[in-house]
Amino acid sequence: MADNDAKTFEVNLAISKTKAGIQDTGELYSSGIDDSVFADFNTGENNTIKRAALYYETCLLRCLDEIRPDFAKRFADLGNRITINKEYGDWSCLFEKPSNFLYLIRQTDESSKKLNYDCQPLDFTNYAHTVTGSDDDVYVCTTAHTSADDTDDGEPPDDDGSGNWTLDSTDEYTGADWEESKAYKASQSGILLATNTLSNSDGDSAYIEYIPYEQAGINDDPTKYTESFKHAFATLLASEIETDFERRQKLLNEYELIAKPKAKETKTKDDHEKKTTLVVDARSNLRVG
């Protein structure tokens, strides 16, 4: 693999902030770090580079969460709602997150991104999908599978009879419409978005602003960062590279009191950041199922 010049620069910037870097111990720096080193820190050329590679992603994720820079923000239509075999209070709709979801910023309106809606990320353990079958009864997924519109993994009760679905004989749950080519889960854990508002342009899904993350994505590419974000990230990373306790504390203080606030202040101001409006309309009172 070729050296990752942008990440190498970020690591060397962090090293320059450490006690040894200030003393200009040149052998600590790297002329080029390959992506494979970030995947396996043990392959780093010296202990300092190894520490940098080890803490790189952890520090980056923390900065993305705490600073939430504009370059990292994305919007997503969450698609069809789901139902599960768990209680979720007074919320009427649940949605699965995008595959690259990291942090929720807000639920907004696709047609007017100045608007905000009440929503809540809920953490569920061992939940199963529920659907309404062709006989209008509710079925709970008992075997993880991807549905297909034929006799193999089809709509309950007319699926292949292999135990993918079990009838909810207690009438305890509600079911969403069955979908073809959907990955149904029998025991899944994770965070789902709960809301009472359908806010995409079609009025049938939730629309959110969020922070995504994936390796080799835009949030993992320092060439996209603002200068203030680069400085904040390098300062936090330097605190993890640093082996001197006093210098480490100074770097953490610099990150919290100077670098992070500055990175937040220099974000591009969107209209919704200047003034947000909570909207209650007919859709916000939606009750489904």
What is this structure's pTM? Answer: 0.82
pLDDT score, position 65: 94
- Which uninterrupted H or E stretch holds 64? helix 47-67
Percentage above 90 pLDDT, the chain: 78
Q: Round to whole Å and give the CA distance between 23 and 63.
A: 27
Nearest CA to 22 out of 251, 218, 185, 216 is that of: 251
For residue 37, the SS3 value is: helix
Q: Which residue, chain included where needed, has tokens 């709709």?
A: 93
pLDDT on residue 277: 37
Closest CA relative to residue 209, chosen from 73, 86, 11, 68: 73
Mean pLDDT in residue range 37-53: 95
pLDDT at 216 over 50: yes
**Average pLDDT in the 146-172 region?**
81
* pLDDT for 17 beyond 90: yes
The model's pLDDT over 225-247, given as tens digits with 9 standing for 90+, comes to 999 999 999 999 999 999 999 99
| pLDDT score at 218 | 80
| pLDDT (0 to 100) of residue 1 | 59
**pLDDT at residue 161, as a whole number:** 62
The reply to whether omega before 157 is within 30° of 0 (cis) is yes
Domain boundaries, given as residue ranges, for the chain: 5-71+215-273, 72-213
pLDDT tier, 4 (very low <50, low <70, confident <90, very high otherwise): very high
SS3 269: coil
Q: What is the mean pLDDT of residues 115-133?
A: 96
Mean pLDDT score across all residues of the chain: 89
Whether 268 has a pLDDT exceeding 60, the answer reads no
Q: Mean per-residue pLDDT for 53-73?
A: 96
The mean-pLDDT minimum among 26-35, 207-216, 224-233, 266-275 falls in 266-275
